[in-house]
Amino acid sequence: MYKALRYLGWPVLCGLLVAALIMQHYPQWLGLPAQPPLFEAAQAPSPGRQQGPVSYADAASRAAPAVVSLRSTKAAKPGKAGDTANDRKSPAKPVEELSLGSAVLMSHDGYLLTNNHVTLDAESIVVALADGRQTLAKLIGNDPATDLAVLKIDLPNLPAISVGDSTAIRIGDVVLAIGNPFGVGQTVTMGIISATGRNQLGLNTYEDFIQTDAAINLGNSGGALVDANGNLIGINTAILSGGSQGIGFAIPIKLAMEVMRSIIQHGQVIRGWLGVAVEVITPELIKTYGLKVDQGIVVTDIDPDGPAHKAGLRAGDVLVKLAGQPIKDGRLAMNQIARKQPGDSIPIEVRRQDKTLQLKVTVGLRPLMEKAR
C-alpha cells in the first residue's frame, strides 16, 4: 500500500501542477471565466513604414548651389609704426580689413540675403559661387535691427534656393547648416532644431531666433539653415560663444523674407513705432514707480516727439493691454507694434497709479537710427 502511494505520488503531483497552470493561464479550457491581469504594461508602438533618410546628400545638393561665400573689404585703418628708428620715421601704412561670411541666393535675378554685420562698412563685397564664378555685389539695403542685409549680383543662370515654411518647424527636426566657416570653403553640418522663438539674447533689437546644434562657426554668418528636404528655413546668424558649442541661432526665413521685400521695395524696413522704452514689471520696478499692478510693461523712457507722448503716455505708465490683448512680454508687444503700418491707430489700456486710461496711439514710422526706441 505504501509503495503504491509512493509510486503514485509523483504523477499526482505533476497533474496538480499542470491543472494549476491551466487554471491560471488558460481558464477558458476548463470553462472558467478569464481573470484580468494585475496590470497592463504599456506597449511600444510598432515602427511606421516610413523611416528617416540614411543620407541627407539630396537635401545638401539641392540647397548648396544657392549658398555663396562673401569676402568683404572694409575701409583701410592706419597701421602701427614700427619699433626701429627707420620705421618710426616713415608713416604707418593703412591696413585693409577683410571680413568673411556667407549669403543665400533668393532669386534667379541675383538677390541675396546675408547678415548686416558681414557687410557693415564694406567698401567692396566679392561673391564666390559654388560653381566657381566670382563677381562684385551691390548692397541694396540693410536692417541693423534684425542684422539682415540684401545684396544684388548680375550674372546669368543663377541658382535660387527653395524657401520652406519656418512657422511649421518643430523641435527635433533635422536641419543642415551650409556656409563658409573660416574661409575653408563650402561646408555642410547637420543637427536638429533645439528651440524656437529665442529672444532677449541681446543680439538684435528684434529677436525670434531658431536655435540649433548644427555646427555654426565664424564665416557661417549669412549662410543657410535648411530642412531635411533642402528647403531654406533660416539665415544663420550667431553662436553663443567664440566657437561652436552646439548652440547656434538662425533668423527664421519668414521674418527674413519680410525684411528683404521691404528693403527691395522701399529701400528700408517700414516698421511701426511708438517712441517708448519699456521693461517687464519686476519687484524693483514696482518699488521704484510705486506700481499698483503686477502684470504688464512699464514705460521707462519716452521720446518727447514720439507718437506715444503725443497720445498722452508718460514715463511710469504701465501698458496693460495692447489692441485688447493682455501684455505679458515687452519684446513681443514691441514686435506687434513694429508690424503695424505708420498711420495705423492702436488702442492701449494704461494704468497710471490708481487710474485706468484708455488711449489711442497713431503709430509712427520707426526712425532709421539703430538706437531708436
Residue 335 to residue 259: CA distance in whole angstroms: 13
For every residue of the chain, which 3-state class applies, written as one string?
A: CHHHHHHHHHHHHHHHHHHHHHHHHCHHHHCCCCCCCCCCCCCCCCCCCCCCCCCCHHHHHHHHHHEEEEEEEEEEECCCCCCCHHHHHCCCCCEEEEEEEEEEECCCCCEEEECHHHHCCEEEEEEECCCCCEEECEEEEEECCCCEEEEECCCCCCCCCCECCCCCCCCCCEEEEEECHHHCCCEEEEEEEEEEEECCCCCCCCCCEEEECCCCCCCCCCCEEEECCCCEEEEEEEECCCCCCCCEEEEEHHHHHHHHHHHHHHCCCCCEECCEEEEECCHHHHHHHCCCCCCCEEEEEECCCCHHHHHCCCCCCEEEEECCEECCCHHHHHHHHHCCCCCCEEEEEEEECCEEEEEEEECEECCCCCCCC
Distance of CA 240 to the CA centre of its chain: 13
Do 206 and 167 form a contact (C-beta atoms < 8 A)? no
Do 135 and 155 form a contact (C-beta atoms < 8 A)? yes
Active site residues: 117, 147, 221
Distances (CA, A) of 213 to 55, 216, 224, 245, 264: 18, 8, 14, 8, 32
